[in-house]
Structure 1
Amino acid sequence: MIFRFALLFVIVTIVELYTFQALKTLIRSRPVLIVVESLSILFLIYIVYSLMQFDRSVGQTHQTMITMALLLIVYVPKLILTLFLLGEDIFRLGAGTVNYFINYDKEAVFFESRRKFVSQIGLGIATIPFLSLIYGVTVGKYNYKVIKQRIFFPDLPEDFDGFTITQISDVHSGSFDNAEKINYAIDLVNEQNSDLILFTGDIVNTHAKEMHPWIETFNRIKKHAYGKYAVLGNHDYGEYVTWPNETAKEENFKAIKNLYGQIGFDLMLNEHTFIQKGDSKIALVGVENWGHNFKQAGDLNKAAGVLQKEDFKILMSHDPSHWDHVVQHDKKHYQLTLSGHTHGMQFGIEIPGYFKWSLAQYVYKQWAGLYEHMGRYVYVNRGFGFHAYPGRVGIMPEITVIELKRGSGIA
């Protein structure tokens, strides 16, 4: 533990020294430079203090989210700047070494003076994540996008051709701080006029009480002709805090399960039901959370019961790693799986139809949008809310509308 703190102290010191060097090339006024550095030190003190105050029995609070925002806004740009200037120093050291040992220049300087334009370029590059992270906190986290996806299935019952599903996921109600924006998002959900609405888990961060101020708001989601169904996400089990006893944890879990009913959703716990339309029906299957690196309470066999391979099935499973490791290989052939969980890491670059990138892709093979394997599809919703970092950059909060089409074609 002491070694870790010592290493962290050294890293922070190096980052601050490099940042100071770069700022000196931009800020000529010594008083202004002192003010800027003083603010930087104050931010560091606040971040360290807040992190030391973190209470495992409480979990995430608005203060911890502010701290995370400050940590990223202040130190991500500084780290980028440090790497930029460190690269220049390695180059300067290399050039000096070559001149001294190979060119036999005994007057060679191992570290030539730092070039002003390099520092300025580094500062310019560091400004991009700085402004992006501020945007994410102030605007991005509530910049809801309705994403429409049409998927073709050769075995879709004819009566369901054109059937629409609205999917929301990862509400994380304990993170909300703007009622007007949440009401706007609920209006967007209602405007889609879908046949069915599905909620793929994580109604809270940890505690059932987080949702209490928002129950009336989410009850504004209108009734859908073919129902409102939900499954649990990993955060719904309350496993990321320290509980005084197992009874308290179980009571919270029971209260969280009741929340779904309080906002009009039927919670599916390793079970299935049938959606009937005309003379046809499809099976809706809902499992508890199953994650490759998270809680594995989902029981696909129990949920499917007597369902056969020939039945058209829509599966709700919070974590897409379930599809990657289990569902896509299941002999019962789950035509469509709906997941969430990843949030797209709430940070990335996305140009719809052309390019998308996020750190999430190095953790999850399926992390945002539609994926297919041998006629089996999984759609990963980017999430309705946010967690830890109170913002979104590039990967915006999502309301998904999926249209089921009969036949073959490009999804």
Structure 2
Amino acid sequence: MFPLIIRIALVLAIFFLIDWYSFQAFKTVFPNQVWVKVLFWIFSVSVYIFVTYGFLFFDRSSNNNINLGRMVSLLVLSLIPKLIILGLMFGEDIIRFLTGTFQSVTGTREGDFLPDRRKFISQTALALSAIPFLGILHGVLVGKYRYRVMNHTLEFDDLPEEFDGFTITQISDIHSGSFDDKKKLEYGVDLINQQESDVILFTGDLVNNHAGEMEPWVDTFKKLQAPMGKYSILGNHDYGDYMSWPSKEAKEANLNRLADIQKELGFQLLRNENVKLQKPARNGAEGATASIDLIGVENWGKGFAQYGDLGKAVSNLSEQSFKILMSHDPSHFDEEVKNFSQLIHLTLSGHTHGMQFGIEIPGFIKWSPASYRYPKWAGLYQELGRYLHVNRGFGFLAFPGRVGIWPEITVLKLKKK
């Protein structure tokens, strides 16, 4: 391991290199505008001072998610466009070096060893860097509350006929500690209710770290309505594992408070257990019912805490029943669910957020950095006769924005083949 001072020096050298190359583009395009160059350095240095100060004094026992988000957004807004410039300017320098070497060897060189920078390359670099800059700015100001409804219809041979046309609204990853606009949040909650689904299922991460983050938004989310109930599970952030606590008891009290808040919201929290969703039987004795089993497990993720116990959650269920599973992390599907001894017809997950960044054009492209970590990172998947749906998340975390991957409300309609 390198000593801390060497690691700090290395990071500073990398940031200086990025800024120096970016500055070359501005200097070439605006050779006589001193104010542009001064403004560039004022912006860059100010961002680094603010971010450095924030991280040096960041307290993991604190619940200040808004300030953390501001630090991350400033760093991303400053760094990503500069990386675009770096790529083009460094590429131009390689060509300049090879050209200068060739001219020196052939004796055709006139003037300095390195040819002058071409203004066109610098203009192109600045123009291209403006695309992610504006995209990130839009994601922070608009994209994080740009809710969209995704509809899917799923057909099953063994769905009880009473549930033909049954609708589910799935939401996931609320991350209430990140919200900063009540009006826009209320619009999202109203949009969920407008779907008029039979049930609302929430697949985890109500908060970022602390149960208190949800306190200001209880009245807002209490407005969610579904005639056959609202059910929820825990996500990896709900346990408080990413926050420093004064004691084990304080951490446990926080989780208990979170469970109480779920009740206040009208959600039935399922922790490695199940409930039956019932409807009157169409062809049977008076009082007879048809049912499907709704299963909820605690968080189970590859590379994350594995509190979930699927065997326990289904221990009292018939192998022939129709089953819907709520499991926060989609890696659980590949690692255990799809090969589980009992057929689980539909699994609902979240967790990935689609990294809150990507490109999705239906029928053409679907990409996010999340795809390098999670093979099943967003949308609907089918494997071994079982469905998995991964919700892109209702809220946002760390980076207070969404670029190309918008907050999602999913509506699933179940049909009998």
- TM-score by length of structure 2 reads 0.94
**C-alpha contact (below 8 Å) 1:99/1:108 kept by paired residues:** no
Alignment of 1:122-141 (within 5 A): 122-141=125-144
CA displacement at 1:109 relative to structure 2: 5.7
Does residue 363 (structure 1) correspond to residue 373 (structure 2)? The answer is: yes
**C-alpha contact (below 8 Å) 1:151/1:404 kept by paired residues:** yes
SS in 1 for 2:338: helix
**C-alpha contact (below 8 Å) 1:324/1:365 kept by paired residues:** no
Give the aligned partner of residue 272 of structure 2. 270
Counterpart Cα distance in 2 of 1:353 and 1:281? 36
CA displacement at 1:96 relative to structure 2: 2.8
Alignment of 1:187-198 (within 5 A): 187-198=190-201
CA displacement at 1:226 relative to structure 2: 1.5
Q: Structure 1 stretches (4+) deviating beyond 6 angstroms?
A: none
Counterpart Cα distance in 1 of 2:383 and 2:36? 58
Percent of matched pairs sharing the same residue = 51
Counterpart Cα distance in 2 of 1:105 and 1:186? 70
**C-alpha contact (below 8 Å) 1:56/1:241 kept by paired residues:** yes
Counterpart Cα distance in 2 of 1:60 and 1:300? 35
Counterpart Cα distance in 1 of 2:409 and 2:316? 32
Counterpart Cα distance in 1 of 2:21 and 2:36? 18
Matched residue type, 2:36: V
CA displacement at 1:15 relative to structure 2: 1.0
Deviations 1:12-49 (A, max 9, x none): 11111111111112333113321332222112211111
Q: Aligned residues, how many?
A: 405
Counterpart Cα distance in 2 of 1:107 and 1:22? 24
Counterpart Cα distance in 1 of 2:376 and 2:64? 27
Correspondence for 1:115 among 96, 113, 118 = 118
Counterpart Cα distance in 2 of 1:59 and 1:218? 21
Matched residue type, 1:44: Y
Counterpart Cα distance in 1 of 2:12 and 2:201? 47
Matched residue type, 2:232: A
Deviations 1:97-128 (A, max 9, x none): 34445x46576965221111001101111111
Correspondence for 2:91 among 87, 94, 99 = 87
Give the aligned partner of residue 359 of structure 2. 349
CA displacement at 1:200 relative to structure 2: 0.4
Give the aligned partner of residue 38 of structure 1. 42
Give the aligned partner of residue 310 of structure 1. 320
Give the aligned partner of residue 263 of structure 2. 261
The range that moved more, 33-42 or 311-320, is 33-42
Counterpart Cα distance in 1 of 2:113 and 2:158? 71
Note the aligned Cα RMSD (angstroms): 1.5
The range that moved more, 174-183 or 304-313, is 304-313
CA displacement at 1:311 relative to structure 2: 1.4
**C-alpha contact (below 8 Å) 1:288/1:298 kept by paired residues:** yes
Does residue 161 (structure 1) correspond to residue 171 (structure 2)? The answer is: no
Alignment of 1:10-29 (within 5 A): 10-27=13-30, 28-29=32-33
Alignment of 1:193-208 (within 5 A): 193-208=196-211
Matched residue type, 1:61: N
Give the aligned partner of residue 233 of structure 1. 235
Alignment of 1:250-399 (within 5 A): 250-279=252-281, 280-399=290-409
Give the aligned partner of residue 62 of structure 2. 58
Matched residue type, 2:206: I
Counterpart Cα distance in 1 of 2:197 and 2:265? 18
Counterpart Cα distance in 2 of 1:159 and 1:67? 52
Matched residue type, 1:42: S
SS in 1 for 2:12: helix
* Structure 1: stretches of 5+ with no match in the other structure: none
Correspondence for 2:224 among 221, 227, 240 = 221
